[in-house]
């Protein structure tokens, strides 16, 4: 299911409000299966940034698989990355008795990924072009990472109606899961 341009604009606008830490301006989201599945269109919007980040980062050492296999492996793990977190969050929310908030959380989480992808692409571009001195670039990188994690924690706290501690724990879980998937992806390139 592909969302309309108006739906994309509304959802990206809501996600931008999370990046601004402004929960009051977020429109009321209707949660149903159609809206839920349409939110995964955000993965399509993130593809150009992901391709740029993948191509721009050299792999050390050189992968042992050919270019087509590398493309297939990266594509597979891109899909796994977009599916694994929602599945694991559903299980965690069942344990925390917040399964009723799952749909709203995933809808906003998916659209927030578009803005986070843009921040990562911009940051990577700045770091690769040496526009900033090394010390300043490291500082900007650290501040950007903290900002992205805080925005995700704010979105989690708002959509799940939970405290900062629980929201931070969900964000840390996301980092751990993403790193595990990334490590598996890297291992597959050297079979």
96-119 tens-digit pLDDT? 899 999 999 999 999 999 999 999
Residue in 104, 120, 101 with CA at minimum distance from that of residue 39: 104
Instruction: Kindly report the average pLDDT of the chain as a whole number.
Output: 90
Q: pTM for the full model?
A: 0.91
HSE-CB for 103 with a 13 A CA cutoff: 11
44 pLDDT more than 80: yes
DSSP state of 22: -
Handedness of CA 115, 119, 120, 124 (dihedral sign): positive
Return the exposure string of 72-103: e unless at least 16 CB atoms fall within 10 Å of the residue's CB, then b. ebbeebbeebeebbbeebeeebeeeebeebbb
Q: How far is CA 162 from each of CA 22, 122, 169, rounded to the nearest angstrom? A: 16, 31, 11
Residue in 114, 112, 115 with CA at minimum distance from that of residue 104: 112
The SS3 assignment for 42 reads helix
**Banded pLDDT at 61 (limits 50, 70, 90):** confident
Residue spans per domain, the chain: 5-188
**Banded pLDDT at 126 (limits 50, 70, 90):** confident
Prior bond to 144 cis, omega within 30? no
CA–CA distance, 131 with 46 (Å, rounded to integer): 24
What are the structure tokens assigned to 139, written together? 């500082």
pLDDT of residue 66: 81
Q: Which residues contact 170 (CB under 8 A, 6 or more apart)?
A: 89, 92, 153, 156, 160
As a whole number, mean pLDDT of residues 85-91 equals 95
């Amino acid at each position: 299911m592909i969302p309309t341009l108006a739906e994309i604009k509304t959802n990206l606008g809501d996600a931008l409000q999370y990046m601004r830490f402004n929960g009051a301006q977020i429109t009321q989201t209707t949660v149903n299966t159609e809206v839920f599945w349409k939110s995964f269109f955000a993965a399509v919007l993130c593809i150009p940034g992901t391709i740029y980040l993948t191509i721009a980062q050299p792999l050390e050492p050189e992968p042992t698989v050919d270019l087509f296999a590398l493309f297939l492996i990266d594509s597979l793990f891109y899909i796994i990355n977009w599916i694994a977190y929602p599945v694991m969050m559903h299980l965690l929310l069942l344990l925390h008795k917040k399964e009723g908030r799952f749909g709203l959380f995933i809808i906003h989480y998916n659209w927030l990924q578009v803005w986070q992808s843009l921040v990562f692409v911009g940051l990577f571009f700045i770091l690769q072009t040496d526009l900033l001195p090394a010390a300043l670039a490291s500082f900007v990188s650290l501040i950007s990472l903290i900002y992205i994690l805080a925005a995700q924690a704010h979105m989690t706290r708002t959509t799940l109606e939970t405290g900062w501690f629980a929201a931070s724990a969900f964000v840390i879980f996301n980092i751990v899961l993403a790193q595990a998937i990334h490590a598996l992806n890297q291992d597959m390139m050297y079979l």
